[in-house]
Amino acid sequence: MPSAPVLGTTRRRAAAALVTAALLLPLAACGGSDDSGEDSGAKAGASAGGDAPAAKLTVLAAASLTDVFKTAAAAYEKEHPGTELAFSFAGSQELAAQVKQGAPADALVTADTKTMDGLKADTGTPKVIAKNRLVIATGEGNPRQIESLKDLADTKLKVVLAASEVPVGRYSAQVLDAQDIKVKPVSEEPSVRAVLSKVELGEADAGIVYKTDAATATDKVDAIEIPDAQNAIADYPAATLKTSKNSEAAAAFVAWLSGAEAQKILRAAGFQQP
């Protein structure tokens, strides 16, 4: 009966094959489910995060950006769910001191390139995101009838300027020196907003500020235009900080500042195209 052993062996092999197949099927099914889950999760994460990872970013920004950056933050956070922006506003020279002292922050925006250039060891490559120009701020209705820069030389006027180490203070000195106008300020302030505040409160008859700052207080001050030939243009460079713990998210925000949405917001606030 030589065929019997062959038949038995064949049957045993067939049975083993069936058992092996039965064991492999659930494993294959589980493997397919895991791959699908990973793809879905990755897609969902990418969709929710947009083009930047979620993070809480601290941005050091020039005082003259106070109002416009609050508007920009709302737009950015809406476009990038999970990202929070916190700002520290001050004169650019104060911001530079904070960076050099190692203040925890992710990005920096100054009101001049000189300050930013002095921080090359601490920042990424800066890019100018906006420009600004100077105006003379007076009390509402311009009660002292100030018409031009040369009027600021009147010793009967209380004129306030920003300190020389402040960008707007340097720009002010630049335009006054170019016209050979001597002004003795009653005070020298640490930021453009401090200059504006003095005029708003009636503590000064006039001060030199950025056009965009005067535009935030039209109910309290008048802005006297300075002709282009006598004016100075302020550049606003933005850069990431090398000490940032959220470098990718910081880079995304800095890049966004040059994009269409941010530029629209800056233009609406009176800033000029870079």
H helices present in 80-208, as ranges = 92-100, 113-117, 167-178, 192-200
How many whole angstroms from its chain centre is CA 39?
34
CATH number reported for the structural domain that contains residue 137 in this entry: 3.40.190.10
12-63 tens-digit pLDDT: 444 444 334 443 333 333 333 333 333 333 333 333 334 677 899 999 999 9
Amino acid 53: pLDDT: 77
For the chain, the residue count is 274
Report if residue 166 sits inside a domain. Answer: yes
Report if residue 256 sits inside a domain. Answer: yes
Amino acid 36: pLDDT: 36
Report if residue 102 sits inside a domain. Answer: yes
- Domain residues for 225? 132-233
Q: Let me know whether 150 and 227 are in one domain.
A: yes
Report if residue 36 sits inside a domain. Answer: no
Amino acid 187: pLDDT: 97
Amino acid 45: pLDDT: 34
Report if residue 241 sits inside a domain. Answer: yes
Are 152 and 159 spatial neighbours (Cβ–Cβ below 8 Å)? yes
Residues of the chain with pLDDT under 50: 1-50
Q: Let me know whether 118 and 250 are in one domain.
A: yes
Q: Let me know whether 121 and 186 are in one domain.
A: no
Beta bridge partners of 84: 56
Structure tokens at 108: 């920096």
Burial of 185 (0-12, 13-18, 19+ CB in 10 A): buried
Are 137 and 192 spatial neighbours (Cβ–Cβ below 8 Å)? no
Report if residue 39 sits inside a domain. Answer: no
Residues in CB range of 99: below 8 A, 6 or more apart: 60, 105, 108, 119, 122, 123, 241
Q: Let me know whether 241 and 110 are in one domain.
A: yes
Report if residue 14 sits inside a domain. Answer: no
Q: What's the rounded Cα separation, in Å, for the pair 243 and 140?
A: 44
In the block, tokens 């050091």 appear at 60
Q: Let me know whether 137 and 212 are in one domain.
A: yes
Overall number of domains in the chain: 2
pTM score, two decimals? 0.80
Q: Let me know whether 223 and 151 are in one domain.
A: yes
Structure tokens at 83: 């990202």
Q: Let me know whether 198 and 175 are in one domain.
A: yes
Q: Let me know whether 205 and 85 are in one domain.
A: no
Q: Let me know whether 122 and 249 are in one domain.
A: yes
77-91 tens-digit pLDDT: 999 999 999 999 999
Q: Let me know whether 127 and 243 are in one domain.
A: yes
Q: Let me know whether 185 and 120 are in one domain.
A: no
Q: Let me know whether 241 and 117 are in one domain.
A: yes
Are 132 and 272 spatial neighbours (Cβ–Cβ below 8 Å)? yes
Report if residue 19 sits inside a domain. Answer: no
Amino acid 51: pLDDT: 64
